[in-house]
Amino acid sequence: MRIYDLEPGREITILILIGSQSMEFESEVIGGVPLKQMIYAKPVIKNNKVLTFSGKGISANVVITGKDTKPLIFRNAAFSTMKGKDGKLCYGIVSHADAVEFNRRDSFRCPVDVPSVAQIGLERDTYNIIIRDVSINGFSFCFTSDSVTAEIGQFVHTTLNDFIDGLFENFTFKLFGLIVRETVLSNGKHVYGCKIVQQQKGIDAYIAKKERMRLLKQRAKANSRNGRERKT
């Protein structure tokens, strides 16, 4: 796939790498010019200013995800800020390379969306969070309050406590991670990706069971919907 194959309305993630640090921002394709190997995308605005993604030591990349496929990445894309036909600012993104498969943690990320509390860094205070997903070597979370933030390089202590409906099993894991990535969603919410520092025994079995139940529920919903359609 080439970058100009992305159609307007397609959501993209802008992955910025600066040394060992990374940041992610959500955007959306609004047009493209195949002859220039270019797409136009909505700008990321922070403090009423459009963020720029060019400079010494900065690697800018475009990541796309699909429902049933692994994420794809266009590496080392060139970003410029320009005005669109409507006069509004946008990004012009050029990439001459094909997209390649991409997995941040090199392992399956299981959506969980489990509420919990966390200690950040050396603080003794705890903060309410939502654990969004977990893999055998990482997890991501967001704060429930928009006034609380964290930084890349900080350690996080939290507990994943999840009861899986249908199996009648409860799973508890103490998670100790290092924040390695920060993603800003289109709604302004900050999501922090963590690398697990201390591996937890049994988390792979939990992920397998959680995903199996999720797929069973999806299949049951699809069968129920098909049954209603046949009746009508």
pLDDT in tens, the chain (232 residues): 899 999 999 999 998 887 656 788 889 999 999 999 999 999 998 888 899 988 878 889 999 986 566 788 898 899 999 998 888 999 999 998 888 877 655 566 788 999 999 999 988 899 999 999 998 889 999 999 989 999 988 999 999 999 988 888 999 999 999 998 888 876 778 999 999 988 888 898 898 888 888 778 877 777 776 666 666 6
Per-residue pLDDT, 71? 82
Q: What DSSP letter does each residue of 6-45 carry, written as one string?
A: PPTT-EEEEEEEETTEEEEEEEEEEEEEGGGTEEEEPPPE
Structure tokens at 113: 């969306």
Structure tokens at 170: 């409860």
Distance between CA atoms of 6 and 83, rounded to whole angstroms?
20
Distance between CA atoms of 197 and 175, rounded to whole angstroms?
8
pTM of the model: 0.57
Q: Does domain 110-214 sit in CATH 3.40.605.10?
A: no
Q: Where are the domains of the chain?
A: 3-101, 110-214
Distance between CA atoms of 197 and 210, rounded to whole angstroms?
22
Distance between CA atoms of 28 and 26, rounded to whole angstroms?
7
- The fold for domain 3-101 equals Pnp Oxidase; Chain A (2.30.110)
Per-residue pLDDT, 228? 65
